[in-house]
Structure 1
């Protein structure tokens, strides 16, 4: 895991899997469908996700659950 100059922490795939409970294939399926944040290239074939975007995705899932319960 690395930190950019703007303070946005970058998460590698294993960390994203751990935080979201999603498998590798589910993450990339979500990216293709536009329902999960896309990674950013960090050099060569390596990619990482912005922690802020992953945390926002998690928060949206929680909010959606709360909305469904109210209906």
Structure 2
């Protein structure tokens, strides 16, 4: 199984969130944690970000159906 690691600019583009919003959500436990790639480099597993987005979409749709 291959794992694709994406860097912050790609995470921002995929989610539409700002850098500060991403790190705030990580601190709150509501966003996938980053993976250390080096002393000053981090990334995220693309599949973790995709799963997080899918969960947000599902939650949004279920809230719409309850109305």
Q: Do these two structures clear the TM 0.5 threshold for a shared fold by scoring above it?
A: yes
* Deviation per residue, 1:23-68 (Å, 9 max, x gap): 0000000000000001000111100000000000000010001110
Identify the structure with the greater strand proportion: 1
Query: Which structure has more RCO (C-alpha within 8 Å, separation ≥ 6)?
Result: 2
> Which of these residues, 47, 61, 64, is aligned with residue 52 of structure 1?
47
What is the correspondence of 1:1-71 to structure 2 with a 5 Å cutoff? 6-71=1-66
User: Displaced runs of 4+ in structure 1, greater than 6 A?
Assistant: none
Give the aligned CA root-mean-square deviation in angstroms: 0.7
TM-score (norm: length of structure 1): 0.90
Unpaired stretches in structure 2, ≥5 consecutive residues: none
Match of 1:3 in 2: none
TM-score (norm: length of structure 2): 0.95
SS in 2 for 1:27: helix
Unpaired stretches in structure 1, ≥5 consecutive residues: 1-5
